[in-house]
Amino acid sequence: MLQFKSSNFANTCILKLIYELFTTKEFCFFVPKIDTLRALEIKSTGYSAFFCSNFYELTNDYFSNIKNRYSNFVVLLDENTSKHCLSPLLIEIDFLKNALFIEIESGEQNKNINTCIKIWEQLSHIKADRNTLLINLGGGVICDLGGFVASTYKRGIDFVNFPTTLLAQVDASIGGKVGVDLLSQKNMVGLFSNPKAVFVYPAFTTTLSKRQLSSGFAEVIKHALIADDSLWKLIKKYTLSANTVSPFIEKSIRIKNQVVKQDFEEKNLRKVLNFGHTIGHAIESLSLQKDKNPLLHGEAIRIGMLCESYLSHKIAGLSKKQFNEIIQYLIADLPANKIKLADFATLLDFMRNDKKNQETTINFSLLTEIGKCKINCTSSSELIYESLEFYRKLRG
């Protein structure tokens, strides 16, 4: 019997060709079923993330069970996931070839309410009822925006996530935060709404550029810094590659899931996940507003972690030694973008309008030591400027 190795999707054209061959009327009965290791199930509140070493096993469980529960299947994707990730999905989940496919343009700049309107309208045009399942096949934008569209279409339809970027696998697909940006402010419109399931398939990361891979790894680094010093030790010795990143993804999901399960609506503990994000989100927002080729989320978070490590050292008790250790590691892979002194005020303004704040104080989650994070820290504007200046000088 034919067997497809799915450890590398770079050659999706061949897969597509094989798919087309096997799904023509004459050959469809040949579609192979391969018995593989079962998926690793990471249980969250009301749903599970399935960590799948092999794509094919998915149908064995989840999709064969839910096939008859829904009246419509709609796949949300972008031009990249359409090209690189759709074929393997269609080969395995045969009945999805009759699904509706809604393709949006990739990129954070399209994560806005206008894109939502287009999708809501398309769902309405096909008369998608409340028993429709939306399948988000993509990175953070698709998972966040698709989750929001699903949670608000006809007061909520079910959705599942197939995160295809490293960033989405370790961050956006888990935790139930869905939403879109508004006025260059990250995730200003959204809500908490869990998917029915998440399918994390590390092999998708082989389709990513080095830049995207590195961006996603920023969240793995964050998870280590806030909660797991042994993971941090592994990271320091590790050279990032899509082929070997799998254990880091699993560990990362487990850390995030542990935090989210205890505080879904971010009243307290969950705020630890915001380390690097107060300054990072401001830098990302500014870049989205003014750069032709804006920073990726993880790139901005790397800068944010660098600045907030500075704050951690100054006001949260992070030792000089550990601070230097973090800086030394982060500096080796920083994005090319520079921050100008003239931008500091704008960045502070973005921080002031961050979701995490209460009134005019800016809220930080800072490291007390590697592996431990303290929430609800506040800093003077002067110190925030100082941390930005620290990065600016470091960057040269």
Q: Pick between residue 13 and residue 117 the one whose CB is nearest to a second copy.
A: 117
Report if residue 315 touches a second copy, rule: CB under 8 A. Answer: no
User: Which of 28, 38, 118, 156 is the binder for a second copy (CB under 8 A)?
Assistant: 156
Structure tokens at 141: 């934008």
Check: CB of residue 52 under 8 Å from CB of residue 200: yes
Report if residue 115 touches a second copy, rule: CB under 8 A. Answer: no
Our measurement of the distance from residue 283's CA atom to the centroid of its chain's CA atoms, rounded to an integer in Å, reads: 18
Q: Which residues does 288 contact at the CB level (< 8 Å), separation at least 6? A: 108, 109, 181, 184, 294, 295
Report if residue 192 touches a second copy, rule: CB under 8 A. Answer: yes
Instruction: For residue 66, give the H/E element and its range.
Output: helix 64-66
Q: Between helices 229-237 and 246-262, what is the axis angle to 10°? A: 160
- Range 202-221, binding a second copy (CB under 8 A): none
DSSP-derived secondary structure for 172-220: ITSS-EEEEEETTEEEEEEEE---SEEEE-GGGGGGS-HHHHHHHHHHH
Report if residue 187 touches a second copy, rule: CB under 8 A. Answer: yes
Instruction: For residue 77, give the H/E element and its range.
Output: strand 72-78
Report if residue 117 touches a second copy, rule: CB under 8 A. Answer: yes
- Residues 75-114, one symbol each (x = binds a second copy by CB under 8 A, - = not), give --------------------------------------x-
Report if residue 183 touches a second copy, rule: CB under 8 A. Answer: yes
Q: Pick between residue 105 and residue 129 the one whose CB is nearest to a second copy.
A: 129
Q: Pick between residue 17 and residue 117 the one whose CB is nearest to a second copy.
A: 117
- By CB under 8 A, which span of 128-136, 199-207, 253-261, 301-309 interacts with a second copy? 128-136
| N-terminal to C-terminal alpha carbon distance within the chain | 58
Q: Pick between residue 5 and residue 127 the one whose CB is nearest to a second copy.
A: 127
How far apart CA 365 and CA 368 sit, in angstroms, is 10
User: Which of 97, 355, 372, 392 is the binder for a second copy (CB under 8 A)?
Assistant: 355
- Range 39-68, binding a second copy (CB under 8 A): none
The single residue listed with the structure tokens 């395995």 is 92
Q: Pick between residue 59 and residue 184 the one whose CB is nearest to a second copy.
A: 184
Report if residue 188 touches a second copy, rule: CB under 8 A. Answer: yes
Report if residue 179 touches a second copy, rule: CB under 8 A. Answer: yes
Q: Pick between residue 192 and residue 238 the one whose CB is nearest to a second copy.
A: 192
- What minimum distance in Å lies between the beta carbon of 159 and a second copy? 13
Check: CB of residue 34 under 8 Å from CB of residue 56: yes
Strand partners, 200: 51
Q: Pick between residue 53 and residue 109 the one whose CB is nearest to a second copy.
A: 109
Check: CB of residue 383 under 8 Å from CB of residue 315: yes
- Among candidates 298, 280, 287, which has minimal Cα distance to 166? 298
- What minimum distance in Å lies between the beta carbon of 360 and a second copy? 8
Q: What does DSSP assign to residue 70?
A: -
User: Which of 43, 130, 236, 290 is the binder for a second copy (CB under 8 A)?
Assistant: 130
Report if residue 334 touches a second copy, rule: CB under 8 A. Answer: no
Report if residue 269 touches a second copy, rule: CB under 8 A. Answer: no
Q: Pick between residue 11 and residue 360 the one whose CB is nearest to a second copy.
A: 360
Q: Pick between residue 261 and residue 356 the one whose CB is nearest to a second copy.
A: 356
- Among candidates 241, 224, 242, 212, which has minimal Cα distance to 139? 212
- By CB under 8 A, which span of 187-195, 243-251, 335-343, 383-391 interacts with a second copy? 187-195
Check: CB of residue 89 under 8 Å from CB of residue 168: no
How far apart CA 70 and CA 101 sit, in angstroms, is 16
Q: Rule CB under 8 A: which residues touch a second copy?
A: 71, 113, 116-117, 120-121, 124, 127, 129-131, 151-156, 177, 179, 182-183, 185, 187-192, 352-353, 355, 357-360
